[in-house]
Structure 1
């Protein structure tokens, strides 16, 4: 069964239904970032160029939420891809003391392209003590290939006082059905919360040789710096 392609009006309807709560019970939040490179699962989405990113989220008291996030991108010139919008509907909440769960459907949309790059993915993340997480994502249209793909990640953050923290993660993307290969990546970063709500993040990324074969010039070792804010 293929995950249906979500159109913006349909997603808006799902979003409104998911947030069918009294207005006072809905929490609005957002984020923004200016980064030297948009790296996603270890690979550059902007050909090593900077990116401007922003997102907004509305969450109901029952745990249901909807969000939209956007960034500029730069793929192969013939695709004419210049922007990405991620539309997300899901649920998050506590399972027990120290344990939390987030499950969602994410639709990646690239408007104005000459080929169909849009695709959707089911995601689930379990978090322990707010500092350790395990994530799994699955799609039967991974990277708009009409083939199966599964992604898994383990991550952790370590607070170092009130203003500093370290964040690290390792992930693997199984794309054998789509590309005949899979790849792994890792990242380690430091975050300085120098003045609320602003933070400065520097992250080192690395991938294995399989990623370099799958995505030439987009994978490998990179260092990314970003100024980010949450509000």
Structure 2
């Protein structure tokens, strides 16, 4: 039994979103869905988390939910820098085909405002080929309740699976009260993403209500 002093605590979150967009592509076929997650962290930075969302794909492969199981470490590297390294397992129970896959991720953050994320997998998107994803992002506070967030991502994929593609997103976030936030996000992708994810990539707007506990 691990003593209570060894753990920093348990955090959770819940979201209602008009569209689950991940790396530029809708995972819910443009429909609203509910998402929730819980994270257990130790005082030394080690953590484990589970996050889930409704999904819907075309053509229909039977998947109705996604669960991301994560184990990793996160902590400060100095006064301004922080690092998070984790292993993420993407699970799609009930799918008619094998969609499960695993990715190694690392995120370097500076002054809690700028970040660089890199993820790599030998079975990216469960497509049977290696892939590497990178995202560069920035956060701009606008007073106590408002902030802007922008990110640009690039996915390097094996040509047998699909062409490399770019996507970008810009969010306006309003902290309404306490842990409650409203988020409006504009997404866009290049034509390579549109070819890889027909009907689910391209320009779209997502609205979400989120709370943490």
Q: Give the TM-score of the pair, scaled to structure 1.
A: 0.89
C-alpha distance in 2 between matches for 1:30 and 1:75 = 27
Higher strand share: 2
C-alpha distance in 2 between matches for 1:177 and 1:45 = 22
Q: 1:43 to 1:78 in 2, by over 3 A?
A: closer
Higher helix share: 1
Residue 118 of structure 1: aligned partner: 100
Deviation at 1:176, TM superposition (A): 2.4
Residue 122 of structure 2: aligned partner: 140
5+ residue gaps, structure 1: 1-19
Residues 120-158 of structure 1 show CA distances to partners (whole Å, capped at 9, x for unaligned) of 000000000011000000000101122100000000111
Deviation at 1:230, TM superposition (A): 1.2
Residue 222 of structure 1: aligned partner: 204
Residues 27-54 of structure 1 show CA distances to partners (whole Å, capped at 9, x for unaligned) of 1000110000000000000110001000
Residue 78 of structure 2: aligned partner: 96
Residue 208 of structure 1: aligned partner: 190
Equivalent of residue 20 in structure 2, options 9, 21, 38: 38
2:29, 2:58 within 8 Å by CA — same for their partners in 1?
no
Residue 64 of structure 1: aligned partner: 46
Classify the secondary structure of the residue corresponding to 2:125. Answer: helix
Say what the alpha-carbon RMSD is for the aligned residues: 1.1
Residue 5 of structure 2: aligned partner: 24
C-alpha distance in 1 between matches for 2:160 and 2:111 = 36
C-alpha distance in 2 between matches for 1:177 and 1:221 = 24
C-alpha distance in 1 between matches for 2:72 and 2:65 = 23
| 1:119-198 equivalence runs, <5 A | 119-198=101-180
Aligned pairs, number: 212
5+ residue gaps, structure 2: none
C-alpha distance in 2 between matches for 1:22 and 1:40 = 37
C-alpha distance in 1 between matches for 2:60 and 2:182 = 34
C-alpha distance in 1 between matches for 2:160 and 2:68 = 21
Classify the secondary structure of the residue corresponding to 1:48. Answer: coil
Runs of 4+ with deviation above 2 angstroms: none
Classify the secondary structure of the residue corresponding to 2:77. Answer: strand
